[in-house]
Amino acid sequence: MLRKVVSVILGIVGAGIGFSLSYLLARLDFFNELASGGGYPWYSIVGLLVLVGGFAGFMLAPRLIEVTLRMVAFFESVLQHTPVQDLIGGAFGLIIGLVIANLFGAPMRNIPWVGPYIPIVFSVLFGYLGLSVGIKKKEELTGLLTVWRTGSRQGRGGGKSGYKVLDTNVIIDGRISDICRTGFLDGVLIIPRFVLEELQYIADSSDLLRRNKGRRGLDILNQMQKEQVIKIEIRDFDGVDNKKDVDYRLIQVCKRLDCPVVTNDYNLNKVAELVGVRVLNINDLANAVKPLFLPGEEIAKVDVIRDGKESGQGVAYLEDGTMIVIEGGKKYIGQRINVVVTSVLQTSAGRMIFAKPKVSFKDSSSSRHYHEVKVIG
């Protein structure tokens, strides 16, 4: 039904075009002489042009409708696959470019001959430049909009954009999903396109372990997007050197957005700190919430599962994964014992506890006391 209505409308438009064309032809002396010489009245020629125009419009309507629908579907598909940041940046740049073109072109309209065409040329030129620059500077523009929207709250926090960039390792690790679910992270999590491509590359690896890690990372991202606990954006970044490794490009993105990187990679942590990029290391967060053990404190019921690097050492683990190195614990492998903490080593890579078996600790203490008494005596 809609196609028939559109066909009728296009037929009427074609008839109108034929009628307008007849008026234009009527102003030509050659046409008037031809009409009068042929003995045809003027209104018959007008009617003929109206009928021809209407018939042409009606017959061409299906083809025009088909072409129009294809163009609409094409532009709709392009717009759906275009990131919102590109649309906002491009629209903003186009508006600024057209404003500048109007400011420059308006005074030149009165120039003879070329004056009417100068504003058109300026509009095309500055419109294209504004569109191109707006798309390339989309991150800065959206950052300014975010700061303006959030007001002085983020301004007092150092003028940051509210973005946080995730690296590949922290996505595969999986704890970032739990952290977001608890509400300890706010703002927008940015996942660069090259990080997503690296995850896909790992998921397609021939190595079973790497393939499982990559698929785990993709599943975690999918789960985080479905839960919508925190906003996640996947972005393309123009101007980032694709020949460099992922860590270098992550640092470039963080410096461009003026935002921290969320990672658990020790090397990326150190490099980012050297170049002045703030780091949110989830290992540091995990260590901060682990129970604190002081030298001399007892840890009950730990399972010694294997021997350590040094002779006679045994290794056990707490429930949160903290390693306990037990001096003289090799002989207790496969047993559950109580240990006494001797020292704690804290690093960005994790926390390591050094301890001794409680029995051994008591024996060594009593032995030292016995020798002291013996010397005094």
Q: What is the pLDDT of residues 177-213, one digit of tens each?
A: 888 888 888 888 999 888 988 999 999 988 888 899 8
pLDDT grade, residue 368 (50/70/90)?
very low
One domain, residues 169 and 284: yes
One domain, residues 261 and 299: no
The pLDDT of residue 370:
41
Residue matched to tokens 């120039």: 111
For the ranges 22-36, 174-188, 309-323, 336-350, which has the lowest average pLDDT?
A: 22-36
**3-state DSSP assignment of residue 4:** helix
| Domain presence at residue 359 | yes
DSSP notation for 216-240: HHHHHHHHHHHHTSSEEEEE--TT-
pLDDT of 331 above 80: yes
CATH of the domain at 313: 2.40.50.140
| Domain presence at residue 261 | yes
One domain, residues 127 and 212: no
The pLDDT of residue 99:
92
| Domain presence at residue 139 | no
Average pLDDT over residues 47-58: 74
| Domain presence at residue 211 | yes
One domain, residues 161 and 264: yes
pLDDT above 70 covers a percentage of the chain that reads 80
The pLDDT of residue 255:
86
Q: Decide which of 237, 269, 288 is a domain's last residue.
A: 288
Domain count, the chain: 3
| Domain presence at residue 120 | yes
One domain, residues 158 and 245: yes
The pLDDT of residue 114:
79
How many Å apart are CA 249 and CA 158, to the nearest integer?
A: 23
pLDDT of 299 above 60: yes
Segment of 15-19, 26-30, 251-255 carrying the highest mean pLDDT:
251-255
One domain, residues 249 and 167: yes
CB 261 within 8 A of CB 268: yes
One domain, residues 265 and 333: no
Q: What is the pLDDT of residues 237-261, one digit of tens each?
A: 876 777 788 888 899 888 888 889 9
| Domain presence at residue 142 | no
One domain, residues 157 and 196: yes
pLDDT of 38 above 80: no
The whole domain housing 217 covers: 152-288
pLDDT of 23 above 70: no
Q: Decide which of 132, 166, 187 is a domain's last residue.
A: 132
As a three-state string, the secondary structure of 20-78 is HHHHHHHCCHHHHHHHHHHCCCHHHHHHHHHHHHHHHHHHHHHHHHHHHHHHHHHHHHH
One domain, residues 103 and 23: yes
Q: Decide which of 100, 132, 164 is a domain's last residue.
A: 132
The overall average pLDDT reported for the chain is 79
Average pLDDT over residues 39-43: 56
One domain, residues 296 and 243: no
| Domain presence at residue 277 | yes
The pLDDT of residue 321:
77
One domain, residues 217 and 233: yes
CATH of the domain at 205: 3.40.50.1010
pLDDT above 90 covers a percentage of the chain that reads 12
| Domain presence at residue 338 | yes
Average pLDDT over residues 5-21: 75
Closest CA to 220 of 172, 261, 185: 172
How many Å apart are CA 250 and CA 262, to the nearest integer?
A: 10
One domain, residues 338 and 358: yes
pLDDT of 126 above 60: yes
Between 79 and 315, the higher pLDDT residue: 315
**3-state DSSP assignment of residue 350:** strand
The pLDDT of residue 2:
66
